């Protein structure tokens, strides 16, 4: 599947949001293939397992043969190289995201100068959302269907029993 210009979009995606989907779709205007790469982070306590997130995102991206969904552990730059890419996609919502992402990009550049970080600003309508905010709101029974793809909303309803 991965041909031409490939970019890797790493993250926890717990859950995958409309903001994430928007970034993937926008990256597809610049790259031939986007690899959504779920980072296995034992330090985090995710709502959904890696296997569940893989399955959920694959369902959302069904029919788009320019998107691959995968998981990895270890250094992102090493994963990027294994996937025959030299680009990492990161979304920026505001200045607080920029500070963190800038540090990460500099560290990644130090680890492998051939791997570039590409930053896309989040669409204005998703500027204020994050997976954590959506999870917390859903856990308390809030209606979050406008923030996540329908399949993800169904999975949140299953997990919390109400929304």
- The residues assigned a catalytic role are 20, 44, 93, 131
Listed residue (53, 41, 47) closest to 134, CA to CA? 47
| CB contact burial 88-126 (16+ within 10 A = b; e otherwise) | bbbbbbeeebeeebeeebeebeeeeeebebeebebeeeb
- The span from the CA of 62 to the CA of 48, in Å, is 19
Residue found by looking up tokens 């550049």 in the block: 109
Rounded to 5, what percent of the chain is helix, strand, coil?
40, 20, 40
């Amino acid at each position: 599947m991965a041909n031409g210009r490939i970019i890797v979009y790493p993250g926890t995606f717990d859950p995958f949001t409309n903001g994430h989907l928007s970034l993937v779709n926008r990256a597809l205007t610049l790259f031939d293939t986007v690899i959504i790469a779920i980072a296995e982070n034992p330090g985090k306590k995710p709502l959904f397992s890696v296997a569940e997130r893989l399955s959920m995102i694959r369902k959302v991206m069904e029919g788009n043969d320019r998107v691959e969904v995968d998981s990895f552990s270890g250094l992102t730059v090493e994963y990027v190289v294994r996937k025959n890419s030299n680009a990492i996609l990161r979304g920026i919502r505001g200045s607080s995201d920029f500070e963190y992402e800038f540090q990460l990009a500099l560290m990644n550049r130090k680890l492998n100068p051939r791997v570039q970080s590409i930053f896309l600003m989040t669409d204005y309508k998703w500027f204020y959302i994050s997976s954590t905010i959506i999870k917390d709101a859903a856990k308390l029974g809030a209606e979050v269907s406008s923030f996540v793809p329908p399949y993800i909303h169904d999975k949140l309803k299953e997990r919390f029993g109400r929304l």
